[in-house]
Structure 1
Amino acid sequence: MNVFRSLKRKISWLIRNEFRSLVYSAVIAIFAWFLISVTIYPTTPKTIRDIPLTISLADTAAEENGLSIITEDLDQVKVDVTITGSRSQIGSFTAENLVAEAVIPQSITEAGEYTLSILVTNPEGVAFTVDSQSPKTIDVTFDRIQTVHDIPVQASLPNVTAAENLTLDTQGIECTPEKLSITGPATTLELIDHAVVNVPDTMELSSTYTFTNCTNVMLYDKDGAEIDQSALQLAIGNGFNVKVPVFTKVTLPLDVSLTYVPTGFDTEFLRNRLKFSMDEITLAAQNSNIKDLTSWNLGSIVLSTVDLHYQKTFEIDTRGQFNNLSGITTVQVALDTEGLASKTIRVTDIPVVNAPSSYKYSVVTRSLNVTVIGPEEDIKDLTEKDLLVTADLTGYTVKDASFEHEVTVTVPDYSKVWASGSYTVWIDAERNNAE
């Protein structure tokens, strides 16, 4: 039994001493490795990732010239480097021990895009060499930040319609405020031609309506291309109010008036032969009385000016009271000559009628060649006796002993025949002796 206890004590002692030996050996090995590393290999490479990029305009010529950095998301840029330095100094470095700074040269004094070098350093002044770096450079845009206050505002209402027989007055839509102030890079501001307020509502309007607090705004250049707003600040505030006028809409046939028409002439016959380049026009107005119109009169035609080659251009004049939705500005009116004929007849009987009694009158002009137009079947049989040519002096004041006066030509028995052209005769006037 004593032998057994003695053996047990010896085994325990050996185990304790063996463990101590192992611990001592490990400590000695680590110390030896450190000593060898420091003395034989004093420098070491180290790769550090995700160093945040920094950039500052302070004390630069760019700042002195009023430039700002407008490139976005620079704070999201990260730099990776592999550096070599003292093992004891950089061995424990992380991204927090390094600064990656975009260097702004003093030569940058104007707006534009520049490629800047990225310099990686240690704020504490620890020296090292950069073996590799990504990225080494970065493109940065500089510009002057300005504000414009006069950008005109328009409205877009793609989902807004008018009720039946009504129309939206797109030319009369009002945005309040009418102008927009924008702050941003000068080169971008120069491109802006106008702003468009988008009204997202879907509505059918039966009367004038105002959409309020509209904040969806797009910017466009003069060619209609959209402009990126990411570097801009728009002074929208509570948004825009968009007033949309709703007009009554009518489509009317076009018409003309015939003037200086002799009694008994069939005006409808001639009207039906006048051909219009456009038959109708669509108008709109806020006043619902527009619905009472039955036609749109282009103007008047003097009957005697109509010949077989008649054609006249009329301008559309809405007199500022209506919106011309058709968009036509002129209409051509021409005579349809199918089935018509003309004839020139020599007239010698030209009496003076309705003359003042204080004078005696005699027609000096012995004859006139009068051109008449009408249906072929009427014209072919027409003679001088069918024409009534008179010099009507109603209201005329005699100033000279001899004067020229326009005559009136009628064709009493033919309601569809008219005289084309203007005719005058010379008349002698002699005061009565009794006067």
Structure 2
Amino acid sequence: MSILKNITKRNIKEARSNAMLLLIAFVCAIASWFIIAMTKYPSDSKHVSNIPLSRDISGTAAADSGLSIIECSVGSVSVSLDCSRTDYNRISADSLKATIDFKNITVPGTYTLNVKVESTNDAEISNLVISPATVRVELDQYETKAFVLKAKVPNISGGENKAINSADITCEPGEVNIKGPASKLASIAECYAVSNQEKTLDSSYSLNSDEYQLFSEDGTEISSDKLTFDPPLVNMTIPALTQKTVKFVPQIVDAPSGFDTDCLKFKIDPETITIATNNTETKLPDKLELKLRLSELDIGFSTDRLISNLLMGTNITNMSDTDTVNISLDSEGLASRDITITSSNIPILNTPSKNYDYVILNPTFIVKIVGPSEAVNDVTAADLDVVVDLLGADDSMDQFPYSVKVSCSKYDNIWSVTSNTVNVKKTLKEGMTTQASESGPTMTTTTAG
């Protein structure tokens, strides 16, 4: 029994000794392999992805010139490199730094620049291949510029007999400060505060804007990308205007007594417009008068009038899409004719001074008449009432031009479009003399005796 115990103990001791020798041999083999590998193969290749590309330009000539990165074509890069086996596990995306080589750039623009990668933990790297090796970078100066705000509320309308006029909407504050690239700010011509809220208004209403819209000089919308707005929104007050549709009506301002203005037919385009006011004390008219002089209504007459001039000085707003109204004479059935008038038959009325005689120097002149063709052909010189009315005339010169008034009392549908003037001469009446004074010439009467 004791012999068996001794044998068993000896076997266990030998087994333990053999296991220890096996472990030592295994460790030696690993060490030998490592020594041989490090001696024969001292470096290895590695690929690292998603290395963040730094946008920091501090300390560069670009930064000293006030430039900033507006846009960069990539946000990260990848590299393939060689390194020692001891540094292999020390190299990762966190231990590598990717930067942009800004060279000596000092002016705004878009550039293609090289990418640089270096280790941040002193790991030795070689045979570095960067992908992508270059990036497109936009550089510009950031500025802040103030813009006057206009309002835009595309989904808000007026109720019955009410209207919304964007030009009357006020913003508080009335300006917005926009910060962004200088070149982009320079392209902005108009800035709108916009509300997309849907509502029908019967009275004034206030709301906050939802966004800003920017437009260039040619009306192209500009993206708000890379821009910041201060304040981010504004309050908008929208007045609800009282509106009315009215007709244009021609008004003849110089028709002679007895002339039938109803014989004149006109074409007006547009015939009506919509007007509005936000002033409760302003009464909207039933019509808008287009004042015309009878003497300008020749055949083919047509003229444009600015609606803004018709509404000038009122609290009334034009709500139509045009600021021009055209009025033309309907010349169908009309004819014109020239008639020669003898000046000796023309009376001179309201002479400025009783001490002078006034005479017309022109022996004859031409009067042009317009009217229905059947009547025009029957008119004679004797049918025309022609006068020279000197009321208010400036007769400081001995000879001066003056206009002629022409009418036709025999026919209530014949009128003159004469624009001629005659030359009037004044001469001192017999027995009258002039005497100079500080205030100008004065008249004195002398009696012989």
Question: TM-score scaled by structure 2?
Answer: 0.71
Letter in 2 for 1:32: S
Provide the C-alpha distance between the structure 1 equivalents of 2:5 and 2:91, rounded to a whole number of angstroms: 58
Give the match's secondary structure for 1:24.
helix
Q: In the alignment, what sits opposite 2:290?
A: 298
Contact kept? 2:115, 2:130, Cα under 8 Å: no
Distance 1:172 1:49, change over 3 A: same
Give the match's secondary structure for 2:293.
strand
Provide the C-alpha distance between the structure 1 equivalents of 2:367 and 2:63, rounded to a whole number of angstroms: 90
Residues 61-114 of structure 1 deviation map (CA, whole Å, 9 limit, x = unaligned): 33333333334697x5243332232x2x31332316733232535523333334
Contact kept? 1:250, 1:291, Cα under 8 Å: no
Match of 1:116 among 95, 114, 117: 114
Deviation at 1:298, TM superposition (A): 0.9
Provide the C-alpha distance between the structure 2 equivalents of 1:233 and 1:142, rounded to a whole number of angstroms: 17
Provide the C-alpha distance between the structure 1 equivalents of 2:301 and 2:64, rounded to a whole number of angstroms: 76
Distance 1:14 1:186, change over 3 A: same
Provide the C-alpha distance between the structure 1 equivalents of 2:301 and 2:344, rounded to a whole number of angstroms: 29
Provide the C-alpha distance between the structure 1 equivalents of 2:238 and 2:78, rounded to a whole number of angstroms: 54
Q: In the alignment, what sits opposite 2:97?
A: 100
Match of 1:251 among 233, 245, 249: 245
Letter in 1 for 2:78: V
Distance 1:207 1:345, change over 3 A: same
Identity of aligned residues (%): 22
Which stretch shifts more, 403-412 or 345-354?
345-354
Provide the C-alpha distance between the structure 2 equivalents of 1:93 and 1:164, rounded to a whole number of angstroms: 77
Matched pairs, number: 415
Distance 1:406 1:115, change over 3 A: closer
Residues 254-300 of structure 1 deviation map (CA, whole Å, 9 limit, x = unaligned): 22222444544433233xx2333442333233246776522211113
Q: In the alignment, what sits opposite 2:205?
A: 209
Distance 1:252 1:326, change over 3 A: farther
Give the match's secondary structure for 1:133.
strand
Provide the C-alpha distance between the structure 2 equivalents of 1:62 and 1:392, rounded to a whole number of angstroms: 82
Provide the C-alpha distance between the structure 1 equivalents of 2:189 and 2:103, rounded to a whole number of angstroms: 34
Residues 198-245 of structure 1 deviation map (CA, whole Å, 9 limit, x = unaligned): 212111122333323x252233332333444443332225x2122333
Q: In the alignment, what sits opposite 1:240?
A: 234
Question: TM-score scaled by structure 1?
Answer: 0.73
Match of 1:136 among 133, 137, 140: 133
Provide the C-alpha distance between the structure 1 equivalents of 2:151 and 2:108, rounded to a whole number of angstroms: 33
Distance 1:331 1:39, change over 3 A: closer
Q: In the alignment, what sits opposite 2:62?
A: 62
Letter in 2 for 1:327: T
Letter in 1 for 2:105: I
Gaps of 5+ in 1: none
Contact kept? 1:182, 1:234, Cα under 8 Å: yes
Match of 1:323 among 317, 328, 349: 317
Distance 1:246 1:136, change over 3 A: same
Contact kept? 1:61, 1:107, Cα under 8 Å: yes
Gaps of 5+ in 2: 432-449
Distance 1:167 1:132, change over 3 A: same
Letter in 2 for 1:319: M
Give the match's secondary structure for 2:89.
coil
Provide the C-alpha distance between the structure 2 equivalents of 1:80 and 1:18, rounded to a whole number of angstroms: 49
Letter in 1 for 2:237: K
Q: Give runs of aligned pairs for residues 64-79 of structure 1, distance below 5 A.
A: 64-71=64-71, 76-79=75-78
Give the match's secondary structure for 1:182.
strand
Letter in 2 for 1:181: N
Provide the C-alpha distance between the structure 2 equivalents of 1:388 and 1:232, rounded to a whole number of angstroms: 75
Deviation at 1:18, TM superposition (A): 5.2
Give the match's secondary structure for 1:39.
helix
Deviation at 1:253, TM superposition (A): 2.0
